[in-house]
Amino acid sequence: MKKPYLRAFGGKEAATYPISEVRYRSDDGRTLEVDNCLTPLAAKQASALRALFDKRLMSRKPLDKSGVWRYREFLPAFKPFDAVVTMEEGNTTIFDMPQCARFCGMTSLLAKHQGLNPTGSFKDNGMTTAVTMAKKLGATMVACASTGNTSASMAAYAARAGMMSVVFIPDGQIAYGKLSQSLDYGALTIQIEGDFDKAMEIVEDLCNRGTIYLLNSINPFRIEGQKTIMIEMLHQLGWKAPDWVIVPGGNLGNSSSFGKAFDEMLRANFIKKAPKIAVIQAQGANPLYNSFISGDRTLKPVHANTRATAIKIGNPVSFDKAWFAVESTGGIVEQVSEEEIAIAKSKVGRDGVGSEPASATTIAGCRKLVEKGIIRKSDNAVCILTGHLLKDPDYTVEFHRDELYLDAQRTTTLSGTQRISTGGNGNKPVKLPADANKIMSFIDKWNSSK
Ligand code: F0G
């Protein structure tokens, strides 16, 4: 059996490099991916592997308990598995979402909540693998640029592995829940003037000088771990592929990893059919959408602006890989407005689940694609909720108070165009006197108005 290696993504004569070589791009500037050299499985082997995954659900071994490493046959680049840094990541719930289904005009709708990970976002699926590789490569210091979740996850896993971590965040543009995490986990937290795209440029430059190991999703070992989100999803669904998987698009690492997961599982004869991938971007941060609509595959960066700060990214690193994910599965790219995101987020809350704003693009996008007749009412769709509701409490409170503005600092005009409407979905807190009778009559009135 051939051993996994790194390969430049795209291009006819793809350059290759050994796994042990620390590099983030090919000499001609392409992103890299792991070629796992997986061999096709006979039907019997595939069903034996599925049985093994089932058996591991009962195991008490750390590797089996992790929703990433449970599927390690699809992660051969990390062999031998003796340096694994795990926090039992993955294992995230798939919820039935009746309110959201009604909102989208679907018969039913599922949501896999990656916000239920140890640090509250899907980043943990890729961070366990990338920090494990950092350890194998002998790194003692790791870094990333982040809109907040990558940094939270990296800081946590680096702390577990006994490594120093340095995070670069756009000044004043990340949610407090996320900032508090990287501080608490002990990362050197550098707020830089400029946006995420600028921070990304600087951190790549610094890491290319050596000594610091880069853990953004340009790192191909992040993508490897994030693949297991889809493997776990199919496992939870009894290996029955839904018609659609709907995912938010920012730096486009997640959508890329989903495309790679399905490609590898199909090539290995492990599944017979892949879901279509729908990538949803915020209208104010939509370079993949623009490219998809125009058919022009060259990345034209945009100056990003959205209150869904997690996806406030105008120059995504994994642009080409995301194109592959969409194209190879017969999927689609859609964009949604600030108001559509905000209202969809309130619906996720009404299902008793909740998410951070970026995750709600999936519900908003699903509704739009149903309206357009691209997703059918009776289709099976799974929305990927990428981050926990408590990551960005300011957004939620501002929304329910009807005080959500596109410009979070409100340095510009407070005129109507800047306010993001609740569409009647707000749930304002009420102030009442400390008087039981008055409170009871208020509750009665509130109840009968429902
Ligand atoms: N949803 C959430 C909650 C995110 O934090 C991110 C990305 C995305 C969606 C988009 O995923 O980049 O793989 O397309 N956050 C990164 C960060 C960029 O720094 O935390 P993507």
For residue 10, what pLDDT is reported? Answer: 87
Predicted confidence (pLDDT) at residue 13 exceeds the cutoff of 80? no
Q: Ligand 1: distance of its center to the CA of 250 in Å?
A: 6
For residue 156, what pLDDT is reported? Answer: 98
Please work out whether the CB of residue 356 comes within 6 Å of at least one atom of ligand 1: yes
Helix%, strand%, coil% for the chain, nearest 5: 45, 15, 45
CATH of the domain at 266: 3.40.50.1100
Predicted confidence (pLDDT) at residue 1 exceeds the cutoff of 70? no
Mean pLDDT lowest among 50-59, 140-149, 276-285, 414-423: 414-423
Mean pLDDT score of the chain, rounded to an integer? 95
Predicted confidence (pLDDT) at residue 117 exceeds the cutoff of 70? yes
Nearest to 326 by CA among 274, 388, 283, 284: 274
Predicted confidence (pLDDT) at residue 365 exceeds the cutoff of 80? yes
- Structural domain of residue 382, as residue ranges? 41-142+222-450
Q: Report angle CA 185, 186, 191 to the nearest 5 degrees.
A: 105
Given a contact cutoff of 8 angstroms between Cβ atoms, the answer to whether 180 and 151 are in contact is no
| Average pLDDT value for residue range 89-114 | 98
Residue 7 located in a structural domain: no
Tokens of 19: 């796994």
Could you tell me what percent of the chain has a pLDDT over 70? 97
For residue 173, what pLDDT is reported? Answer: 82
**The length of the chain, given as a count of residues:** 450
Q: Ligand 1: distance of its center to the CA of 447 in Å?
A: 39
Q: What are residue 121's DSSP bridge partners?
A: 387
Residue 59 located in a structural domain: yes
Q: Which atom of ligand 1 is nearest to the CA of 322?
A: 14
Predicted confidence (pLDDT) at residue 130 exceeds the cutoff of 70? yes
Give the span between the Cα atoms of 431 and 192, in whole angstroms: 39
Mutate to test the pocket of ligand 1, among 31, 113, 121 (most ligand atoms within 8 A of CB): 121
Give the span between the Cα atoms of 308 and 311, in whole angstroms: 6
Task: Collapse the DSSP code of 229 into the 3-class scheme (helix H, G, I; strand E, B; otherwise coil) and give the result.
Answer: helix
Overall number of domains in the chain: 1
Please work out whether the CB of residue 254 comes within 6 Å of at least one atom of ligand 1: yes
The model's pTM: 0.97
Please work out whether the CB of residue 124 comes within 6 Å of at least one atom of ligand 1: no
Q: Which atom of ligand 1 is nearest to the CA of 256?
A: 13
Residue 30 located in a structural domain: no
Closest C-alpha to ligand 1, atom 12: 251
Please work out whether the CB of residue 252 comes within 6 Å of at least one atom of ligand 1: yes
Residue 213 located in a structural domain: no
Residue 206 located in a structural domain: no
Is the pLDDT higher at 284 or at 450?
Answer: 284
Mutate to test the pocket of ligand 1, among 257, 384, 386 (most ligand atoms within 8 A of CB): 386
Q: pLDDT band at 73, cuts 50/70/90?
A: very high
Task: Collapse the DSSP code of 281 into the 3-class scheme (helix H, G, I; strand E, B; otherwise coil) and give the result.
Answer: strand
Predicted confidence (pLDDT) at residue 438 exceeds the cutoff of 90? yes
Given a contact cutoff of 8 angstroms between Cβ atoms, the answer to whether 362 and 383 are in contact is yes
Q: Report angle CA 239, 243, 247 to the nearest 5 degrees.
A: 95
Q: pLDDT by residue (tens digit) across 328-355?
A: 999 999 999 999 999 999 999 999 999 9
For residue 172, what pLDDT is reported? Answer: 81
**Beta carbons within 8 Å of 238's beta carbon, 6+ residues apart:** none
Residue 407 located in a structural domain: yes
Given a contact cutoff of 8 angstroms between Cβ atoms, the answer to whether 348 and 355 are in contact is yes
Tell which phi-psi region holds residue 289, choosing left (phi > 0), alpha (psi between -120 and 50) or beta.
alpha
Residue 420 located in a structural domain: yes
Residue 180 located in a structural domain: no
For residue 2, what pLDDT is reported? Answer: 86
How far apart, in Å, do the first and last CA atoms of the chain sit? 64
For residue 412, what pLDDT is reported? Answer: 57
For residue 226, what pLDDT is reported? Answer: 98
Closest C-alpha to ligand 1, atom 19: 146
Give the span between the Cα atoms of 408 and 416, in whole angstroms: 15
Q: pLDDT by residue (tens digit) across 383-422?
A: 999 999 999 999 999 999 999 998 776 665 545 457 899 9
Please work out whether the CB of residue 248 comes within 6 Å of at least one atom of ligand 1: yes
Q: Which atom of ligand 1 is nearest to the CA of 252?
A: 14
State the Rg of the chain over Cα. 22
Q: Ligand 1: distance of its center to the CA of 309 in Å?
A: 9
| Average pLDDT value for residue range 51-62 | 98
Please work out whether the CB of residue 425 comes within 6 Å of at least one atom of ligand 1: no
Mean pLDDT lowest among 212-221, 408-417, 420-429: 408-417
Q: pLDDT by residue (tens digit) across 171-191?
A: 888 899 999 999 999 999 999
| Other residues' Cβ atoms within 10 Å of the Cβ of residue 395 | 22
Tell which phi-psi region holds residue 10, choosing left (phi > 0), alpha (psi between -120 and 50) or beta.
left
